[in-house]
């Protein structure tokens, strides 16, 4: 039995209207009304995904930049500078000892009795002058080794070698054997250092290749016109 879609009352077959609520019944061939689609759900307000933490860029601290070593400095240069430093230290120590010896001789001769010499300080000046001179020369050797080392840093090898020779001789004569030997080692190390620093004197020469001569196309010599023949008599 058909029922009312509004009040669910039982109706007779073929009834067009509901007896209770008066609702019009749908025709038998009519399609049932399509169900109303529910409204779309409102999008949930989800919080945005958190971005990964990125630390701020680090800036280098302000300060003096370290000095870069001289580019292309040969390894022999470090050996020469080491020998010069050792020789300078030895000369400095010997200079101090010689000066102390000279002052000690002056003090010693000043305490001698006056009857030994007409002038008690005459002998003291003579004997004290020698170690004082040696001490001054050793101090000069110390300062000159520092100057030569600076010349090596500036790649002035030839000038530094000549200067080392002079103070090496003075070191052997007035500074003792040890300082002279150390300066001699430094002097001998200048030869490979200079050879290493000098540019190649003879560059590789490419073999000479003779360029082919330009050949002009062959042109035949111009033909001379033949002289006119005299007419022959019949």
Identify whether 232 is part of a domain: no
Q: Which residues pair with 122 in a beta bridge?
A: none
Containing structural domain, residue 155? 76-195
Contact 184, 103 (CB under 8 A): no
CA 226/CA 127 separation, integer angstroms: 120
| pLDDT of 124 | 55
Q: Read off the pLDDT of each residue in 175-185 and give the average, rounded to a whole number.
A: 82
Whether 156 shows a pLDDT value over 70: the answer reads yes
Average pLDDT, the chain: 73
| pLDDT of 68 | 44
Identify whether 6 is part of a domain: no
Whether 172 shows a pLDDT value over 80: the answer reads yes
| pLDDT of 93 | 92
Longest dimension (CA), the chain: 173
CA 234/CA 231 separation, integer angstroms: 9
| pLDDT of 85 | 92
CA 7/CA 3 separation, integer angstroms: 8
Q: Two tokens at 216?
A: 């002009």
CA 175/CA 59 separation, integer angstroms: 54
Identify whether 69 is part of a domain: no
Identify whether 222 is part of a domain: no
Whether 32 shows a pLDDT value over 60: the answer reads no
Distances in Å between the Cα of 128 and the Cα atoms of 92, 116, 124, 175, 179 are: 19, 18, 6, 16, 22
| pLDDT of 203 | 40
**CB within 8 Å of 136: residues ≥ 6 apart:** 95, 99
At residue 3, φ and ψ (nearest 5 deg) are -125, 155
* Higher pLDDT pick, 27 / 119: 27
Identify whether 12 is part of a domain: no
Whether 184 shows a pLDDT value over 80: the answer reads yes
Identify whether 154 is part of a domain: yes
Identify whether 63 is part of a domain: no
| pLDDT of 74 | 77
pLDDT tens track for 70-122: 445 678 888 889 989 998 999 899 889 998 988 888 777 767 654 444 455 55
Identify whether 181 is part of a domain: yes
**3-state SS assignment for residue 193:** helix
At residue 71, φ and ψ (nearest 5 deg) are -75, 140
The model's confidence at residue 142, banded by pLDDT at 50, 70 and 90, is: very high
Whether 67 shows a pLDDT value over 50: the answer reads no
Q: Read off the pLDDT of each residue in 183-209 and give the average, rounded to a whole number.
A: 69
| pLDDT of 71 | 47
Domains held by the chain: number: 1
Helices (H) and strands (E) in the chain, counts: 5, 0
**CB within 8 Å of 178: residues ≥ 6 apart:** 90
Contact 32, 44 (CB under 8 A): no
| Nearest partner of 141 among 184, 188, 96, 87, judged by Cα | 87
Whether 205 shows a pLDDT value over 60: the answer reads no
The model's confidence at residue 143, banded by pLDDT at 50, 70 and 90, is: very high
| pLDDT of 201 | 37
| pLDDT of 21 | 80
The model's confidence at residue 192, banded by pLDDT at 50, 70 and 90, is: confident
């Amino acid at each position: 039995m058909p029922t009312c879609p509004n009040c669910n009352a039982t109706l007779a077959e073929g009834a067009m209207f509901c007896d209770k609520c008066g609702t019009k019944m749908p025709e038998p061939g009519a399609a049932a009304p399509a169900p109303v689609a529910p409204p779309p759900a409102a999008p949930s307000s989800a919080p945005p995904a958190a971005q990964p933490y990125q630390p701020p860029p680090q800036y280098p601290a302000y300060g003096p930049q370290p000095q870069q070593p001289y580019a292309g400095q040969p390894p022999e240069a470090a050996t020469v500078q080491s020998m010069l430093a050792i020789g300078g230290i030895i000369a400095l120590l010997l200079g101090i000892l010689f000066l102390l010896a000279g002052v000690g001789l002056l003090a010693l001769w000043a305490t001698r009795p006056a009857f030994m010499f007409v002038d008690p300080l005459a002998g003291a000046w003579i004997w004290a002058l020698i170690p004082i001179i040696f001490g001054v020369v050793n101090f000069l050797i110390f300062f000159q080794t520092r100057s030569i080392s600076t010349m090596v840093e500036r790649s002035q090898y030839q000038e530094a070698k000549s200067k080392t020779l002079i103070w090496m001789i003075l070191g052997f004569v007035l500074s003792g054997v040890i300082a002279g030997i150390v300066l001699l080692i430094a002097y001998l190390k200048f030869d490979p250092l200079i050879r290493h620093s000098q540019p190649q004197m003879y560059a590789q020469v490419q073999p000479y290749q003779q360029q082919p001569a330009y050949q002009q196309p062959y042109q035949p010599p111009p033909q001379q016109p033949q002289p006119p023949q005299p007419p022959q008599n019949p």
